[in-house]
Chain A
């Protein structure tokens, strides 16, 4: 058996005779010390076991002011520094049940959440023009809009609104065309006057010169 302390004794700069004299003493005292140490170890173990058995942990915990302890501890910092959040999140994601999430989402009042959103602020942060230009197929949108519009009706409405023929007549019309218009209108007036006079002479009430085309 290797006795602790003997190597120390042999390495000391002491004459061999002294080493020979001290060796038995060192060997015995060391073995006593080891035995005593082992006994003490066992005693301490028994003692701890006895203490643990006798102590009422619940009572101890009740007496501890957990809140005060937590106040003194910066839990956030602790978690951030000591917890591998990536692993935690990955575990959470693998364990998440999609149905539960869907159920949760169904329970959530999205309208209420949306009501709390500052839409204007969100829109201010977005460049909607560039988004539309990049992501929207404008040709299709315009085609769809044009398909739903009655362009002929719209054009007619505009023409009716601005009375284009009247403008064209005014801009291109000459004295001659105005004169012709006047002569024609006077002719129509004279025609009607003659017709009325003849009808009166013949005691006729109705005359049907045909339907007006416009």
Chain B
């Protein structure tokens, strides 16, 4: 056990995180960072949708080039596609690494209950919640401990984590934080 502690301590000491950012690692992120990350994710989702649309257009053009016209997709279909892409995108990346592209750029990571990694169901629930109620992010500055509406309901958290790989959470962290819930 001492060896494990030593290795953990060593890992912490030789962290690739710059000195000035180390005090913030593990803290819940504020609204600005998360908004920037969400915007980047929105751009990624938009790019995916655009690629999908262009792919569809190309397919239609290849199938019938003579009578080709730009397809008009309805608002409902477009929204449904956007929701579906966003849902899959968030679910997959939060399950795999706890971070989407926007979170990666901004050095954030989503953690589940007790600071553990999100599992598929947790990630899917959160993704659905975020897609349906994106405005939940506005709650962050009003929360005493930077929780969005989704975090509040699902017990998740978004923390600053500049480490390339997820760091094993400390068991006591969950208890102290859950006890500190007071917003």
Residues of A near any B CB (own CB < 8 A): 152-153, 155-156, 159-160, 164-166, 168-169, 180-181, 183-185, 187-188, 190-192, 194-195, 198, 202, 204, 206-214
Contacts and interface: CB of A to CB of B under 8 A. Distances in A.
A194 B32 contact: yes
Most buried by B among A160, A165, A184, A192: A184
A171 B10 CA distance: 22
B33 A190 contact: yes
B61 to A, nearest CB: 36
Contacts of B14: 156, 159-160, 164-165
A165 B15 contact: yes
Most buried by B among A153, A165, A168: A165
Interface stretch (B45-53, B71-79, B93-101, B172-180): B172-180
Contacts of B18: 166, 169, 181
Main SS of chain A's interface residues? helix
A159 to B, nearest CB: 5
Contacts of B12: 213-214
Contacts of B32: 187, 190-191, 194
Nearest to A159: B14
Given A153-B6, A190-B33, A195 B146 contact: yes
Contact of B7 (A152, A168, A187, A207): A152
A214 B167 CA distance: 11
B141 A195 contact: yes
A194 B177 CA distance: 22
Given A152-B6, A169-B18, A214-B23, 16 more contacts: A153-B6, A156-B13, A166-B19, A187-B29, A187-B30, A187-B33, A188-B21, A190-B30, A190-B32, A198-B141, A209-B27, A210-B26, A210-B27, A213-B12, A213-B25, A213-B161
Nearest to A191: B30
Interface string B121-157: 0000000000000000000011011100000000001
A188 B162 CA distance: 12
A165 B19 CA distance: 10
